[in-house]
Structure 1
Amino acid sequence: MPLDARLNEQIIMVPAGDGMREVLETTVFRPSGPGPFPLLLMNHGKQAGPAKLQARERFIYMATEFVRRGYAVMLPMRAGYAQSTGTYRDFGCDMLGNAQGQARDVLAALAYARRQRWVDPQRIVVAGQSYGGMAALALATRALPGVRGVLNFSGGLRVDMSGCDWQASLTRAFATLGAYNRIPSLWLYGANDSYFGPALARRLFNSFAGSGGRGELVAYGPFKRDAHLTLGSRDGVAVWLPATLRFLQEIGMPVRQVYSVIDPPPPAETHFALLDDIAAVPYLTEPGRAAYRAFLDKTAPRAFALSESGAWGWAEEGESPDYRALASCQRRSSTPCHLYCVDASVVWPGGPGPGASAAGGAD
């Protein structure tokens, strides 16, 4: 995915591990200028499958809101993920061991950040989503000068393995994290979270707070198809930002917008055809038309791309669905792919009209 010049995005390799022999692939966003800037240190979750196959995380919507408020943002991929070296640490059903193992890399990234001239070491917030949220809470059991708060977005870990009562193990781990907690935290969990539903989220928070942990739970309602994905959604900003700004203000962190970050304009609607006119979509064979028909039920933000070879691709939710749709299409096509639809607008620039098709197709 192209680096975002609006946010001065760059990728750096942060030293970590025993003897600093490992490196963490880390995305940095920051305002223009030398700084020093307050810092958001953001931590990713774990997707299904091998950690090494997980792509670099960006949390672009969150990064944008923090850069607008004058923050630098660092997002390290922990050991064994993406292009980071080292081995993914897996302690099975030992949830406390899992949290502490991941926090080790967060601590290395924090130490690196403190040494940078563009970071204000006295104004730092650590955040995380899902597994990254639990890692952030594990880090908060340490005395960390300058770290004023923790943001926990749907934090936890689900382990589906024989003999593992992962919910009970998670609850015990959060009790320990609460007992040793040193930094205030804000917790945000949605009602239709596919991993940590309302009852479990409340159980985890009560376990944490009941052991002495300092935190506030914001239990918000359903978000689209899965609240676990709120932070990665363009529309999720309206859900998490107000509570986050209130918390940041309480802990003495900046909340006022001081930099202008212009959102890229969407592709212009061309009126080539009506959105639901499946027969008007050019080049596609029947499997492609079936895919477009299914695409019309997908959630915005979304995009559908195609090429004259008959290849197609689509993406929904998350960051840059237009880019991901084009990339999906291009992997199957020997000719250039172009966007046909973005959200609810047909943006196809022209070309063969209804009934056009190609010999080949893709699914």
Structure 2
Amino acid sequence: MEPAISPLVRRLCLALLLSWPCLTLQAQPASASLPLDARLNEQIIMVPAGDGLRETLETTVFRPAGPGPFPLLLMNHGKQAGPAKLQARERFIYMAAEFVRRGYVVMLPMRAGFARSTGAYRDFGCDMLGNAQGQARDVLAALAYARRQSWVDPERIVVAGQSYGGMAALALATRVLPGVRGVLNFSGGLRVDMPGCDWQGALAKSFATLGAYNHIPSLWLYGANDSYFSPALARRLFNSFTGSGGRAQLLAYGPFKRDAHLTLGSRDGVAVWLPATERFLQKIGMPVRQVYRVADAPSPPATHFALQDDIAAVPYLEEQGRAAYRVFLEKAAPRAFALSASGAWGWAEEGESPDVRALASCQRRSSLPCQLYSVDESVVWPLAGASASAAGGAQ
């Protein structure tokens, strides 16, 4: 799901007649352009799926060092606005890091029609149960593939999903799946805005059916300021599910930043979802103790070139760039601002690797190398005479 761009920033973009800085506001990363994360042994594989296994699912794998077998977290993505094919590969890097630390291999398949996965996106309109089951078909294919791998422990598996992926995970839990011990539902559901569709009612009805056929316990996590699923709707879905016999527990937490729907993709969201997730994992007999060290992502050191809020001290920028930097200073960390001697600039907030995304945004408009000026609460621009780097740290 895509967050809305704030009116202030939208006005700024229109005033500048430049759309490219606005692209950096998406909390979901453009993962296709991000480097693979060596800390987590990240790799991309193509998983066979579909009738006769003629389709392939672009799948990200994170794993601890060693041959395994490792317990598995099979994670499922949501759907952003727009055509599915234009949605970039999802990583949920902060979640992946926490599970790799605990000895899990993490698999994140892009379902049919998304990103570089082949096949067509399955859309059943207001038929919410059909939508959930259609997406679960690819999750089942990814699960079957994972169970055949020597590095996966087929008896210790957790299936998780965010937004539409959470609904798909609950649909998968209507099956008897040996080795799958639990489901993690992060803001699960689907919003369909179309004439004649009572999407909330249809969603509640489908969740009742999913609960009636449920075989696997689940933990649900919904925040108070979720832009898609209000607390009242989340409770309605939970009651529909458990009232039909589904096994679930609900963590209804408070507001998270500008939109709780994006909690899982935020660096700061870990403190919200991890404690309850660990308790649930322990309850279903899955490991929770950290057994592998994963280094924190590198970050450029503060140089104290200038005070961060000293807009006049930022080099190269003209009036438009300084207006953009003023907007950047209003954003919460994680965030990054990059600029170039050409006067180009770009910034990013939230999500994965804002430093890399800010640099990429700047570089698209610059013939000269872009450099990071500010990361989080620090100015990292090199002091006079110091060596300069044209790339930021990657996650």
TM-score where L is the length of structure 1: 0.96
Give 1:266 shift.
2.1
In structure 1, the residue matched to 2:13 is none
| 1:138-149 mapped onto 2 (5 Å cutoff) | 138-149=171-182
The reply on whether 1:71 has 2:104 as its aligned counterpart is yes
Amino acid corresponding to residue 57 of structure 2 in structure 1: L
Give 1:332 shift.
1.1
The reply on whether 1:102 has 2:135 as its aligned counterpart is yes
In structure 2, the residue matched to 1:32 is 65
The reply on whether 1:339 has 2:372 as its aligned counterpart is yes
The reply on whether 1:124 has 2:157 as its aligned counterpart is yes
In structure 1, the residue matched to 2:333 is 300
Higher normalized contact order (CA 8 Å, seq sep 6+, divided by chain length): 2
In structure 1, the residue matched to 2:77 is 44
Distance across 2 between alignment mates of 1:68 and 1:303: 26
Distance across 1 between alignment mates of 2:384 and 2:216: 59
| 1:259-274 mapped onto 2 (5 Å cutoff) | 259-274=292-307
Amino acid corresponding to residue 367 of structure 2 in structure 1: S
Amino acid corresponding to residue 150 of structure 2 in structure 1: R
Distance across 1 between alignment mates of 2:86 and 2:362: 20
The reply on whether 1:349 has 2:371 as its aligned counterpart is no
Over 3 Å counting, the alpha-carbon distance change for 1:210 and 1:269 in structure 2 is same
Summarize deviations over 1:274-323 as a string: whole Å, max 9, x none: 11111111111111111110011112100011111111111100111111
Unaligned runs of 5+ in 1: 353-363
Amino acid corresponding to residue 32 of structure 1 in structure 2: A
Match of 1:283 among 316, 331, 334: 316
Distance across 2 between alignment mates of 1:285 and 1:218: 48
Distance across 2 between alignment mates of 1:114 and 1:159: 33
Match of 1:217 among 250, 272, 278: 250
Distance across 2 between alignment mates of 1:37 and 1:262: 20
The reply on whether 1:56 has 2:89 as its aligned counterpart is yes
Summarize deviations over 1:9-33 as a string: whole Å, max 9, x none: 0000000011111100000000000
Amino acid corresponding to residue 108 of structure 1 in structure 2: A
Amino acid corresponding to residue 150 of structure 1 in structure 2: V
Amino acid corresponding to residue 188 of structure 2 in structure 1: G
Match of 2:195 among 155, 162, 175: 162
Task: State the number of aligned residues.
Answer: 352
Q: What is the root-mean-square deviation of aligned Cα atoms in Å? A: 0.9
Distance across 2 between alignment mates of 1:226 and 1:253: 30
Distance across 1 between alignment mates of 2:297 and 2:320: 32
Distance across 2 between alignment mates of 1:330 and 1:132: 33
In structure 2, the residue matched to 1:22 is 55
- SS of the equivalent of 1:120 reads strand
In structure 1, the residue matched to 2:39 is 6
Distance across 1 between alignment mates of 2:92 and 2:203: 25
Match of 1:190 among 223, 241, 245: 223
Distance across 2 between alignment mates of 1:335 and 1:350: 19
Give 1:351 shift.
5.7
Distance across 2 between alignment mates of 1:54 and 1:335: 29
Identity value in percent: 87
- SS of the equivalent of 2:292 reads coil
TM-score where L is the length of structure 2: 0.88
- SS of the equivalent of 1:195 reads coil
Amino acid corresponding to residue 104 of structure 1 in structure 2: R
In structure 2, the residue matched to 1:356 is none
Q: Which stretch of the first structure deviates more once superposed, 149-158 or 283-292?
A: 283-292
Amino acid corresponding to residue 72 of structure 1 in structure 2: V
Match of 2:113 among 80, 99, 122: 80
Give 1:92 shift.
0.7
Distance across 1 between alignment mates of 2:335 and 2:42: 23
